[in-house]
Amino acid sequence: MQQHTTELPSEGHRGIDRYSIALIVGATSFAELVTEYRRISATRPGRSFITLDDLGQCRYTSGHAANRHELDDGISYPDDDSPPALEKYEAQVFGAAQRVLADPQRTVDPKELASSHPTTASHIDALLVLNRNPDLLLDDVHVVQNVPSNDVSAVLANIPNGYFEGDWTPFECLAVTRLLAERHGYEPLGVGASTLAFLSTLDRTQRRDIVALMKDPQQIYGHETAQSWNELAQVISASPLLILGYTEDFADLTGSDES
């Protein structure tokens, strides 16, 4: 299948919600996907991002994550499901999620993730595989979202995730996202059913302190002496892309065995 893009809304296609602006179908490589995403989002105000691995599962767990963590508390689905009513409802849900995520009492220290979400060395191996071969995240369809906020929290307000017990919560995902943006110049690129992706805003000559960069994911995932960290540093230093897994079983994307 040759890659093609459908601008939204179009006849028979609405995407995820009012913030869906395009469908990228049949991308043959992650690089091709990112190039098309950049073309679509280049002139858009606000913040754009894409869905990643397993769109159906991502949407399913996102809805449950919003309910579980009360990101849409007090907002009811409209009795009138006309397009205007749905758009108003979706805007209210997005705004409510942003407010909850911004609550300082629910702020999380990303340094606590290693103790609250224990990993195995195979998780580090999986991070290396995903960053070396991001094509593993390709889906049949990727939705391009564009939300009316420049804050990095807007991505997780629109598609919050982290529903299952072993997953990072939306607040933990946001803590890591903010850390990467503020300390290392990584902007959120996308969210999938198991992964978060980021693009560096710095050129390669500016991404020199790879040791400082690696300290944060090492602290988040643990197993600091794993050999895969050294190889991952080499991959990241040569690419603007950074992929992290936020679910307990994200290594399944690579066929890794965590037992």
Residue-range domain boundaries for the chain: 4-254
Q: Tell me the three state secondary structure of residue 196.
A: strand
> Band of the pLDDT at 203, cuts 50, 70, 90?
confident
Report the predicted TM-score, pTM, of the whole model to 2 decimal places.
0.94
Between CA 89 and CA 74 the distance in angstroms is 11
* Residue 8 contacts residue 22 (beta carbons within 8 Å): yes
pLDDT in tens, 89-106: 999 999 999 999 999 999
Residue 45's Cβ-side half-sphere holds a number of Cα atoms within 13 Å equal to 2
Report the pLDDT value the prediction gives residue 114, as an integer from 0 to 100: 87
Write the DSSP assignment of 86-147 as a string of letters.
Answer: HHHHHHHHHHHHHHHHT-GGG---GGGHHHHS---HHHHHHHHHHHH-GGGG--SEEEEEEE
User: What is the tens place of the pLDDT at every residue in 28-68?
Assistant: 999 999 999 999 999 999 999 999 999 999 999 999 999 99
Q: What is the pLDDT of residues 138-164, one digit of tens each?
A: 999 999 999 999 999 999 999 999 999
| 106-123 average pLDDT score | 92
